[in-house]
RNA sequence: GUCCGGUUCGUCUAGGGGUUAGGACACCGCCCUUUCACGGCGGCAACACGGGUUCAAAUCCCGUACCGGAUACCA
């Protein structure tokens, strides 16, 4: 046990972004590794942009990844009074002052650019301490406030000196006070601002380690100033490198769409274990040549020292359907699907088949159970068949979706034929139109339908027709499964079963 | 502009004075095989640049370039 307390503090202005998800992951891993607590705080103080829908979506994403907070979720907006209280205290202590400068008209869409422009225009001439109200006497300030004149409250940053902290990732960070403005604590409408709110809440929640994106590096200096004014020792900080788009630019919802949303991965048939594993390796490594880690192993190996300083690219190709997201994430998911325990995979396959309306309850009834219930005596129970089939077809699957898409023909009579498979395996060999139904007839006379005996029959058939075995097999594969890829065709025949195999080989619908 | 950070294969990364600069993904080739996106074997491919320090620099120092972040009465 330790007294480490970390928090993940998203603002609900959209879905759970991949970068935020990784921040949550690192906080979670750190908490678990140290035996501390992982907390969640929703920073919903931006009334204009925060939505309940976003909060739900973020919570959903976190739940999917398995990061349950150890204490009740804090909603920052509920603490506004405390934030105002803190600002007033600082004002009373002379560590902050009222700024009566009229509020500027709200900027338009390009706030970011406008700010940049203004800053550029300012050049290296900095006037961080030239606010005319900074040194207004408290009497006069009180009088004007009492008269109802609107004001914002700004922190009175000392003239001489610097803020410094030892970042656990980036090392010693120092910043001259001259580079930090007298930041606004409370807006003229009484609304507390981000830096104040964060500091107050982190203090109240007893946060010991702040692990967040590197984009907060300069905020940290401002927050340290607030901690100092409040007379509280700041927590330890660890800033994370950012996750960038393929062009090394910013990864954004607006530009990159749902490829950055966590729910996309859940809905696309990713396993949370696999995606979490992938995320962990973006900006962190255990300094060993290995990439598959269970959650337990990540918790055990995780350390702040293993976090990198350079940004990582989330590599995807919007124009290539097969690489719509990072190659490695796809590979990782496939790796999990094919090598995790069948027992662990089954529930996921069940959920996927249910969603696709392909699930049948018999898939959970074993041969013995069926016998007990109906006294029917099958060669093999549905449960055994289902598990054998899933195990067989998972080898070439990338996502859970594949079980209901590519694998549809194993669970339903209603499946589509891939035009490319038809072209490659059927229309190229017109004789197959006659041959395949003929093969079906051979099957009809078979007493047993097992791999080795099927092999004998098909081989003899191919020989008789004077064609390559592959031509027959691949034609049959297309008719039986609708696709051109899959496991050994002998196993496919067996798993599809004699009756269905015969039916599909005779069917002419793929030919039309 | 200013402040802060970063820079090893296309991507994720190991390595932090002496290495044939290692692994993974992707890509390519070969093998297996009835096809294949499984598997096996192999290949392509990187220390941003310029100066120093040193017997020796990817590794330490300085500079340059480039990239990123921040610079709000947003979070």
Residue A35: pLDDT band by 50, 70, 90 thresholds?
very high
> Distance of CA A5 to CAs A1, A236, A326, Å?
11, 11, 32
> Could you tell me the pLDDT band of residue A188, with boundaries at 50, 70 and 90?
very high
pLDDT in tens, A140-178: 999 999 999 999 999 999 999 999 999 999 999 999 999
Shortest-distance nucleotide from A331 CA to C1': B25
Q: Is the CB of A137 under 7 A from strand B?
A: no
Smallest CA–C1' separation from A12, nucleotide: B75
Q: Would you say the C-beta of A108 is within 7 Å of strand B?
A: no
Q: Report pTM.
A: 0.94
Bases of chain B below 7 A from a protein C-beta are 1-8, 10-15, 22-26, 33-39, 67-75
pLDDT band at A294 (very low <50, low <70, confident <90, very high): very high
Using the predicted structure, report yes or no on whether residue A488 has a pLDDT greater than 90: yes
Of A42-51, A182-191, A350-359, which gets the smallest average pLDDT?
A: A42-51
pLDDT of residue A403: 97
**The CATH number, out of the four listed (3.40.50.300, 3.30.230.10, 3.40.50.620, 3.40.50.2300), of the domain defined by the range A5-74+198-243:** 3.40.50.620
Among the listed residues A24, A4, A14, A99, the one whose alpha carbon sits nearest the alpha carbon of residue A66: A24
pLDDT at A511 over 70: yes
pLDDT value at residue A107: 60
Q: Which of A68-72, A83-87, A274-278, A316-320 has the lowest mean pLDDT?
A: A316-320
Helix, strand, coil % in chain A, rounded to nearest 5: 50, 10, 35
pLDDT at A121: 79
Percentage of residues of chain A with pLDDT beyond 70: 98
Does the CB of A452 fall within 7 Å of any strand B atom? no
Judged by C1' against the alpha carbon of A397, the nearest nucleotide is B37
Whether A182 CB is under 7 Å from strand B: no
Mean pLDDT, chain A, whole residue set:
93
**At a CB cut-off of 8 Å and minimum separation 6, what does A205 contact?**
A5, A7, A39, A41, A74
Nearest residue to B72 via alpha carbon and C1': A115
Task: List, for residues A419-459, the tens digit of each pLDDT value.
Answer: 989 999 999 899 999 999 999 999 999 988 999 899 999 99
Where in chain A do CATH 1.10.10.350 domains reside?
416-511
Average pLDDT of the residues in A52-80: 96
| Lookup: nucleotide whose C1' is closest to A11 CA | B75
The CATH architecture annotation of domain A81-186 reads: Alpha-Beta Complex (3.90)
Q: Which residues lie closer than 8 Å to A344 by C-beta, 6 or more apart?
A: none
- pLDDT tier at A120, thresholds 50, 70, 90: confident
Residue A98 has pLDDT above 80, yes or no: yes
Question: Residue A123 — left, alpha, or beta (φ > 0 → left; ψ -120 to 50 → alpha)?
Answer: left
* Catalytic residue status for A253: yes
What distance in Å separates the CA atoms of residue A391 and residue A339, rounded to the nearest whole number? Answer: 10
Q: Quick check: A490 CB within 7 A of strand B?
A: yes
Q: Check if the beta carbon of residue A437 is closer than 8 Å to that of residue A507.
A: no
Percent of chain A with pLDDT over 90: 80
Residues 6+ apart with CB under 8 A from A240: A22, A23, A26, A169, A211, A212, A213, A214, A283, A307
Q: Which fold has domain A416-511?
A: Arc Repressor Mutant, subunit A (1.10.10)
Does A248 contact strand B, using a CB cutoff of 7 Å? yes
- Tell whether the model's pLDDT for residue A219 goes beyond 60: yes
pLDDT value of position A265:
97
Pairing mode, if any, of strands A96-99 and A162-167? unpaired
CATH 3.90.800.10 range(s) for chain A read 81-186
Residues in contact with A262: Cβ distance below 8 Å, sequence separation at least 6, in sequence order: A15, A16, A17, A18, A21, A61, A64, A65
Look at strands A96-99 and A74-75 and give their pairing: unpaired
Q: For chain A, where do the domains classified as CATH 3.40.50.620 start and end?
A: 5-74+198-243
**Separation of CA A14 and C1' B69 in angstroms?**
21
Specify the pLDDT at position A319.
85
- Residue A162 contacts strand B, CB under 7 A: no
């Amino acid at each position: 046990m330790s007294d480490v307390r970390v928090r993940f503090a998203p603002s609900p202005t959209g879905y759970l972004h991949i970068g935020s998800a990784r921040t949550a992951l690192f906080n979670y891993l750190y908490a678990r590794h140290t035996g501390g607590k992982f907390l969640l705080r929703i920073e919903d103080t931006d009334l204009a942009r925060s939505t309940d829908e976003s909060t739900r979506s973020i919570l959903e994403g976190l739940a999917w990844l398995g990061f349950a907070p150890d204490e009740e979720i804090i909603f920052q907006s509920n603490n506004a009074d405390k934030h105002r209280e803190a600002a007033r205290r600082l004002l009373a202590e002379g560590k902050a002052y009222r700024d009566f400068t009229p509020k500027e008209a709200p900027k338009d869409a390009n706030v970011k650019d406008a700010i940049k422009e203004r800053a550029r225009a300012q050049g290296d001439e900095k006037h961080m301490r030239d606010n005319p109200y900074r040194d207004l006497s408290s009497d006069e300030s009180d009088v004007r406030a009492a008269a109802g004149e609107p004001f914002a409250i700004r922190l009175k940053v000392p003239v001489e000196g610097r803020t410094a902290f030892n970042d656990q990732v980036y090392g010693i960070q120092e910043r001259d006070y001259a580079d930090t403005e007298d930041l606004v604590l409370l807006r003229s409408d009484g609304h507390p601002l981000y830096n104040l709110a964060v500091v107050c809440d982190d203090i109240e929640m007893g946060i010991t380690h702040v692990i967040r994106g590197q984009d907060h590096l300069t905020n940290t200096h401002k927050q340290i100033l607030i901690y100092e004014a409040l007379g509280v020792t700041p927590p330890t900080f660890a800033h994370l490198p950012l996750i960038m788009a393929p062009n090394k630019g910013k990864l954004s919802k607006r530009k990159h769409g749902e490829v950055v949303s966590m729910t996309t991965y859940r809905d696309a048939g990713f396993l949370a274990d696999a995606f979490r594993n992938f995320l962990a390796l973006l900006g962190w490594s255990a300094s060993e040549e290995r990439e598959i880690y269970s959650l337990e192993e990540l918790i055990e190996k995780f350390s702040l020292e293993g976090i990198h300083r350079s940004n990582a690219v989330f590599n995807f190709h919007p124009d290539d359907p097969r690489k719509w997201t990072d190659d490695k994430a796809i590979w990782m998911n496939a790796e999990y699907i094919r090598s995790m325990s069948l027992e662990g995979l089954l529930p996921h396959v069940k959920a996927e088949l249910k969603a696709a309306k392909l699930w049948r309850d018999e898939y959970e009834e074993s041969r013995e159970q069926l016998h007990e219930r109906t006294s029917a005596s099958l060669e093999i129970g549905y449960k055994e068949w289902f598990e054998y089939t899933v195990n067989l077809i998972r080898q070439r699957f990338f996502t859970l979706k594949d079980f209901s898409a590519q694998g549809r023909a194993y669970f339903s009579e209603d499946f589509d034929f891939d035009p490319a498979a038809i072209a490659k395996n059927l229309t190229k060999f017109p004789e197959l139109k006659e041959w395949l139904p003929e093969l079906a007839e051979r099957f009809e006379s078979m007493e047993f339908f097992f791999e080795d005996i099927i092999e004998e029959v098909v081989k003899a058939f191919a020989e008789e027709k004077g064609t390559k075995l592959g031509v027959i097999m691949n034609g049959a594969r297309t008719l039986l499964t609708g696709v051109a890829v899959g496991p050994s065709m002998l196993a496919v025949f067996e798993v599809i079963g004699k009756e269905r195999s015969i039916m599909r080989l005779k069917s002419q619908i793929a030919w039309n």
